[in-house]
């Protein structure tokens, strides 16, 4: 089972790796994008984020979806998919300066970057990969990044393919359209 999950994640990362290298913003379309195999579309409205995101299928996998005190929405599927999503965050230049100036988790290199995202390598004890993305669609902006510390406090060092898969999921963030069954949260 684990090998199948790992293989699906690696294949997904390989097919979409070029999307991180293209210097084009993520553009909105009138039609809903098709789901990649092994993914589900999660509506985040009930968690206070007016968006949908495609994440690994949670049907038979342990997962956590929780609001954090910071205002971030934390989405974890097993140990290898662990991201946060928010409607506010740092602009890309400020985030890059923050990453480059980190004296503890030392910046090593930009692995891939485009106008909306960065994938980068750092080193604390071990080599680590991370991502940060700013997704703008239909007048809405969403911020996403890897969340390397799980709810039990354990720090996970993600591989490059794992981070690429999380970045690809972040790029599916799309403004949610409230329906009669899913009313928009009241402010």
Please list the pLDDT of the chain residue by residue as tens digits (187 residues).
444 443 444 334 433 333 333 333 344 444 567 888 899 999 999 999 999 999 999 888 889 999 999 899 999 998 889 999 999 999 999 999 999 999 988 999 999 999 899 999 999 888 999 999 999 999 999 999 999 876 677 788 899 999 999 999 999 999 997 665 555 555 4
What is each CA distance from 65 to 69, 102, 155, in whole angstroms? 13, 28, 18
Give exposure, 103-127, as e/b (b: 16+ Cβ within 10 Å).
eeeebeeebbbbebbbbbbbeeeee
Residue 71 lies in a domain: yes
> How many domains are contained in the chain?
1
The predicted structure's pLDDT at residue 1:
41
Please report whether residue 104 resides in a domain. yes
Asked if residue 27 is part of any domain, the answer here is no
pTM: 0.77
Residue 180 in domain: no
Phi and psi at residue 105, in whole multiples of 5°? -95, 85
The answer as to whether 185 is a domain residue is no
The Cα–Cα gap between 99 and 122 comes to 9
Range of the domain at 45: 2-22+38-175
pLDDT at 4: 44
Please report the pLDDT score of residue 180 as a whole number.
Answer: 55
Instruction: Give the C-alpha distances (Å, rounded to integers) separating 134 from 61, 78, 178.
Output: 28, 24, 22
The confidence score (pLDDT) of residue 31 equals 56
Domain assignment present for residue 105? The answer is yes
Which is it for the CA torsion 47, 52, 54, 57, positive or negative?
positive
The pLDDT of residue 49 is 94
Looking at residue 155, its pLDDT comes to 80
Find the CATH number of the domain harbouring 143.
Answer: 3.40.1000
Which pLDDT value is given to residue 178?
Answer: 67
């Amino acid at each position: 089972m684990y090998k199948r999950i790992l293989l699906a994640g690696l294949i997904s990362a390989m097919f979409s790796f070029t999307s991180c290298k293209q210097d084009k913003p993520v553009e909105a379309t009138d039609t809903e994008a098709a789901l990649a195999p092994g993914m589900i579309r999660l509506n985040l409205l009930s968690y206070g984020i007016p968006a949908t995101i495609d994440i690994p299928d949670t049907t038979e996998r342990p997962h956590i979806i929780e609001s954090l005190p910071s205002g971030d929405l934390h989405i974890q599927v097993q140990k290898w998919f662990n991201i946060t999503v928010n409607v506010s965050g740092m602009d890309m230049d400020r985030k890059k300066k923050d990453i480059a100036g980190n004296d503890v988790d030392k910046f090593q290199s930009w692995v891939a970057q485009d106008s909306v995202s960065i994938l980068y390598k750092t080193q604390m004890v071990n080599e680590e990969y991370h991502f940060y993305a700013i997704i703008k669609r239909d007048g809405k902006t969403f911020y996403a990044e890897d969340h390397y510390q799980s709810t039990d406090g354990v720090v996970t060092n993600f591989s490059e393919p794992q981070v690429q898969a999380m970045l690809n999921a972040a790029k599916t963030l799309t403004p949610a359209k409230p329906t009669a069954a899913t009313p928009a949260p009241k402010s």
